[in-house]
Amino acid sequence: MPISPYDTDLDRNPANFQPLSPLPFLERAASVFPNHVAVIHGPLRRTYAELYARTRRLASALKQHGIGKNDTVAAMLPNTPAMLECHYGVPMCGAVLNTLNTRLDAAIIAFSLDHGEARVLIADREFSGTVKEALALCKVKPLVIDYDDPVYDGPGERLGSIEYEDFLAQGDPAFDWLMPTDEWDAIALNYTSGTTGDPKGVVYHHRGANLLATSNVLTGGMGRHPVYLWTLPMFHCNGWCFPWTISLLAGTHVCLRQVR
């Protein structure tokens, strides 16, 4: 059978094909709107240029600690700037973000850490009681990074060897981060609540995250620079991909630890 001219000289190359991923959303926002407020958390204000630099620092620091493609980085965090940064910085080094449900008990958290083979755990001090018990139960021994949120003044202790801001300080704000080699590469791992047995792991790929994040814009009829109040937990299906949607529109993420 003769080769169709439509199949000739149309191979994929960098000029005509890029894998779909939500990661370039932040890069573009920082390039086009560097001084627009990206994050609000209590008295804190950060621009897109600052947010982008911090996510690159996180990716760089993780890589320096040997974290790379298909390694799992777990996050036990409320809706804070660190949780938002993890949605970019973790996959920017090729790793997979596992956001943990902060409402679950230590046994389920331990199961998730083991099943997901977590290499790193970033944990808010508020959840140190549950995290401490989970670490005693699980088989994996992840690098534990404490997040000591200045907005939080309640009980809790540091469990890790380094605090989040100190960890970021090790990274390069100009880090040449990694796009996925294949848009079907994993970007996030989520677990069900285990209501009918052990929790089930659900994997997002870069393509799916990109498409859902973009679809949110169309479904919600959203315009440029929306202001988004984070009442939906980012651990819940990655906040339905809104950590990426809002940055696509160069909007403002208003972080909220708790809904009261």
Domain 20-254: CATH architecture, name and number where available: 3-Layer(aba) Sandwich (3.40)
Q: Is the pLDDT of residue 13 over 90?
A: no
Q: What are the tokens at 82?
A: 């660190």
Residues 6+ away with beta carbon under 8 Å from 46: 37, 38, 39, 54, 81
Helix axes 128-137, 106-115, angle to 10 degrees: 50
Q: Is the pLDDT of residue 127 over 80?
A: yes
Instruction: Kindly report the average pLDDT of the chain as a whole number.
Output: 96
pLDDT of residue 3: 80
The answer to whether the beta carbons of residues 250 and 225 sit under 8 Å apart is yes
Beta partners for residue 190, in sequence order:
202
Q: What is the pLDDT of residues 162-209, one digit of tens each?
A: 999 999 999 999 999 999 999 999 999 999 987 788 899 999 999 999
For the entire predicted model, the pTM comes to 0.95
Which residue in 96, 103, 56 sits closest to 180, CA to CA? Answer: 96
d(CA 134, CA 117): 14
Banded pLDDT at 40 (limits 50, 70, 90):
very high
Q: Is 120 exposed, middle or buried (0-12, 13-18, 19+ CB in 10 A)?
A: buried
Per domain, the residue ranges of the chain are 20-254
Q: What is the pLDDT of residues 144-161, one digit of tens each?
A: 999 999 999 999 999 999
Beta partners for residue 96, in sequence order:
72
Q: What is the pLDDT of residues 234-256, one digit of tens each?
A: 999 999 999 999 999 999 999 99
Q: Where are the alpha helices (DSSP H) in 21-180?
A: 23-32, 48-64, 81-92, 106-115, 128-137, 164-169
pLDDT of residue 176: 98
**What percentage of the chain has pLDDT greater than the value 90?**
90
In the chain, the DSSP E strands lie at 37-41, 44-47, 72-76, 96-99, 118-124, 143-147, 162-163, 186-191, 201-205, 227-229, 252-254
Q: Is 227 exposed, middle or buried (0-12, 13-18, 19+ CB in 10 A)?
A: exposed
Tell me the residue length of the chain: 260
DSSP state of 198: S
